[in-house]
Amino acid sequence: MASSASFALPGSSFLHNKKDLSVSVVPSTSQLSIYKCKQPISKNIVMAMETQQSERKPATTGSIKTPMSMTEKILAKASGKGGVRAGDNVWVNVDVFMTNDISGPGSIGIFRREFGQNAKVWDREKVVVIPDHYIFTSDERANRNVDILREFSLEQNIKYFYDIKDLSNFKANPDYKGVCHIALAQEGHCRPGEVLLGTDSHTCTAGAFGQFATGIGNTEAGFVLGTGALLLKVPETLRFVMDGEMPDYLLAKDLILQIIGEISVAGATYKSMEFVGTTIESLNMEERMTLCNMVIEAGGKNGVISADTTTFKYLEDKTSVPYEPVYSDAQASFLSEFRFDISNLEPLVAKPHSPDNRALARECKDIKVDRVYIGSCTGGKTQDFLAAAKLFLAAGKKVKVPTFLVPATQKVWVDIYTVTVPGSGGKTCSQIFEEAGCDTPASPSCAACMGGPKDTYARMNEAQASYLFTLSIRGVCVSTTNRNFPGRMGHKEGQIYLASPYTAAASALTGYITDPRHFLHQISHWKMVLERVKLNVFSKHMHEPKLKERGRELKTMDTKKVCEDVNIMDKKQMAVASPHGSEDSDEGREKSSPATPVQSSPDLSDESVFITSHLFDFLDSSLPITVKGCQWVLLYRAGRNMVYHSAHLLARATCFLVPVCWYVQFYVLIR
């Protein structure tokens, strides 16, 4: 059993002011802080949150002789016990129960059968009913499921029933929310230190809030509806330490695909997965939700992340229910510990037909794509659409394949039309998506993530011929969802590649699975190339002190280091990320892992400078006229598919052999 180092509440103290009321959590004082939106209060009772090593107090539950993980603490508190250990079976009191239109009718049927037709739920204010899966469909059976939820909620006077009545226009239904897992968070049902059970396997998403959240079956759900309690076995805990600065081309989807690829889809079976480290602390709440959302794809019972200031800030305007965060003890034991250096990670995909079939996005550059799907509880949040819009904006191109956009909730739908994308000059996501040629954002729901009836939006109803001159008939979809089993999104022959919103958007632009660095870093890269070209041409005319100083910097500049600084190339992967710009052999490539880096490609030398069509857009808008003197600059347009390690030879050849064949542009720099 590996013991872990301390992970205290971020900072030595947490201060939360609201009008005249405040709460302070100071490690040196023995108090449990109870957070309540807008009106935080504090009570002097036993310390519940982790303190710094030198100032540690006894654990909230149990003696100092039995240190516990976060999951163990939550279950101990919910069961009223002084302490629990992995493997214990305990009766747990449920704080929130959630059901939807897929499994809700079955759970209701069992509840009525076992407790009576006229029985009442144990607490109408702790039951959340959210229709979300098969909403915008004409399928009679799907519609009947929603009717059953509606009848039951009215009969039981359920307080939190997010209904939809007008199927033609979700905006006419202020109560309708969308995908249950994201709606739970947005409506304030996800709170640190509590127990949330739901009739959906991805209920584990709420673990991002420091909450024990897991999916249960219909039989268990029927029992919870009647009693508010459930017998659970305390899971063992796997600890995932993720450190390092997260590159700007990665998202949380890449992190969880890396983990699942490392431990397999059965690697965390009935285990709690606890995520810690500097990388985790830097993630916003929606990215943390992505991480916890897919622990079930590794077989995990639940995923959990310590609540911190990011969590508290998110919950400020979402709940008035007091909550008590808990944290793992420093002496807590974990079944295993996995460490990752995120700064070395590359964009990933999960190939068909398993979430652990991990591969580098750049390794799949020859896979032709038929469609792209951005949506679901995993990849349909506001931050996911902002990421996709950022890449479309950087590329300035139109998509080459149908690109479907399905916001997770009504709030996300509104954000798409109102929230401006940073660096866009005030454009919203919807404007950028329209310019890129994407489909109009659909009404919030699970849509094609789980296939559904044949009239489900974006469902893969027919296989397509993805490869010419072959007998292989299939449809290829790059999706931000969480599962890629056969038939998951419709047709059983569909080939689903799971990816981040960055990778999905990049693939939509090229029609092939594409490493997002191809678009996210091209501006920085061409800016560097332009400076080096300018230096070579105008070095004789640099008279101003600042230009001379800049010239010396450029002359002594290590190109490899520059590429690392702008994140164009991985520190150990010096190959440019281009969908078809590399001739590296695929043989012998291994899956990306910090422990086993992939073989790097040749470095970019000083002479390996050539300009593609992307640079001319940059030149037209950004070429500064700052150099004294006058000089003609001849820029040769190189082919899009040139390889970097042979670029200097090709560029020189075109200078003398076929200058007429190349596109020539002249720029006059006036003194």
CB 271 within 8 A of CB 237: yes
Residues 359 and 504 occupy one common structural domain: yes
The domain that contains 155 carries what CATH number?
3.30.499.10
The token pair at 605 is: 């030398």
pLDDT of residue 525: 52
Residues 381 and 448 occupy one common structural domain: yes
Tokens 């049902």 correspond to 189
Q: How confident is the model at residue 578 (pLDDT cuts 50, 70, 90)?
A: very low
Average pLDDT over residues 63-85: 91
pLDDT at 170 over 70: no
Please indicate, yes or no, if residue 490 is contained in any of the structural domains: yes
Please indicate, yes or no, if residue 595 is contained in any of the structural domains: yes
The domain that contains 80 carries what CATH number?
3.40.1060.10
Please indicate, yes or no, if residue 469 is contained in any of the structural domains: yes
pLDDT of residue 462: 77
The token pair at 316 is: 């400020």
Q: Which residue has the higher pLDDT, 121 or 22?
A: 121
pLDDT of residue 168: 55
Q: DSSP characters for 365-413? A: TT-B-SEEEEEHHHH-SHHHHHHHHHHHHHHT---SS-EEEE-SBHHHH
pLDDT of residue 357: 98
pLDDT at 239 over 50: yes
Residues 162 and 64 occupy one common structural domain: no
pLDDT of residue 20: 35
Please indicate, yes or no, if residue 206 is contained in any of the structural domains: yes
Across-strand partners of 271? 236
Q: Which residue has the higher pLDDT, 543 or 196?
A: 196
Residues 460 and 311 occupy one common structural domain: no
Across-strand partners of 359? 349
Number of domains observed in the structure of the chain:
4
The token pair at 281 is: 């602390």
- pLDDT tens digits, 2-55: 444 333 333 333 333 333 333 333 233 333 445 555 444 333 222 233 333 333
Residues 503 and 358 occupy one common structural domain: yes
pLDDT at 314 over 60: yes
Q: Please state the separation of Cα 247 from the chain's center in Å.
A: 14
Which region, left, alpha or beta, applies to residue 350 given φ > 0 means left and ψ of -120 to 50 means alpha? beta
pLDDT at 189 over 60: yes
Which of residues 184, 207, 227 is at a domain's end? 227
Task: Determine the 3-state secondary structure of 538 from DSSP.
Answer: helix
Residues 526 and 509 occupy one common structural domain: no
Which of residues 227, 254, 275 is at a domain's end? 227
pLDDT at 616 over 50: no
Q: What share of the chain is helix, strand, coil (3-state, %, to 5)?
A: 35, 20, 45
Please indicate, yes or no, if residue 153 is contained in any of the structural domains: yes
Percent of residues, the chain, with pLDDT higher than 70: 65
E strand or H helix at 232, and its extent? strand 229-233
Q: Which residue has the higher pLDDT, 391 or 592?
A: 391
pLDDT of residue 649: 52
Q: φ, ψ for residue 259 (rounded to 5)?
A: -65, -50
Nearest to 52 by CA among 112, 102, 11: 11
Residues 629 and 659 occupy one common structural domain: yes
Residues 398 and 507 occupy one common structural domain: yes
Please indicate, yes or no, if residue 598 is contained in any of the structural domains: yes
Tokens 């009404």 correspond to 443
Residues 439 and 525 occupy one common structural domain: no
Average pLDDT over residues 207-213: 99
pLDDT at 659 over 50: no
Please indicate, yes or no, if residue 413 is contained in any of the structural domains: yes
Determine if the pTM surpasses 0.75. no
How far from 477 is each of 78, 333, 352, 380, 444, CA to CA, in Å?
A: 42, 41, 10, 16, 20
- pLDDT tens digits, 339-396: 999 999 999 999 999 999 999 999 999 999 999 999 999 999 999 999 999 999 999 9
Q: φ, ψ for residue 393 (rounded to 5)?
A: -65, -45
pLDDT at 518 over 70: yes
Label residue 445 exposed, middle or buried (CB < 10 Å: 0-12, 13-18, 19+): buried
pLDDT of residue 34: 54
pLDDT at 668 over 70: no
Q: Which domain holds residue 260?
A: 2-93+234-344
- pLDDT tens digits, 457-510: 999 987 655 444 443 446 999 999 999 999 999 999 999 999 999 999 999 999
pLDDT at 121 over 90: yes
Residues 190 and 289 occupy one common structural domain: no
* 291 vs 208: CA distance, rounded Å: 8
CB 147 within 8 A of CB 165: no
Percent of residues, the chain, with pLDDT higher than 90: 63
* 489 vs 461: CA distance, rounded Å: 9
Which of residues 486, 513, 540 is at a domain's end? 513
pLDDT of residue 581: 43
pLDDT of residue 36: 52
State the angle between helix axes of 545-555 and 522-538 in degrees (0 to 180), rounded to the nearest 10.
110
Q: How confident is the model at residue 171 (pLDDT cuts 50, 70, 90)?
A: low
The number of C-alpha atoms within 13 Å of 297 and in the hemisphere containing its C-beta is 28
Please indicate, yes or no, if residue 349 is contained in any of the structural domains: no
Nearest to 103 by CA among 16, 199, 27: 199
Pairing of strands 160-161, 195-198: unpaired
Residues 413 and 379 occupy one common structural domain: yes
Average pLDDT over residues 509-528: 80
pLDDT of residue 164: 85
- pLDDT tens digits, 279-305: 999 999 999 999 999 999 999 999 999
Nearest to 482 by CA among 260, 281, 280, 246: 260
Residues 359 and 506 occupy one common structural domain: yes
CB 610 within 8 A of CB 650: yes
CB 179 within 8 A of CB 448: no
Average pLDDT, the chain: 78
The token pair at 628 is: 């004294």
Q: Which residue has the higher pLDDT, 213 or 596?
A: 213
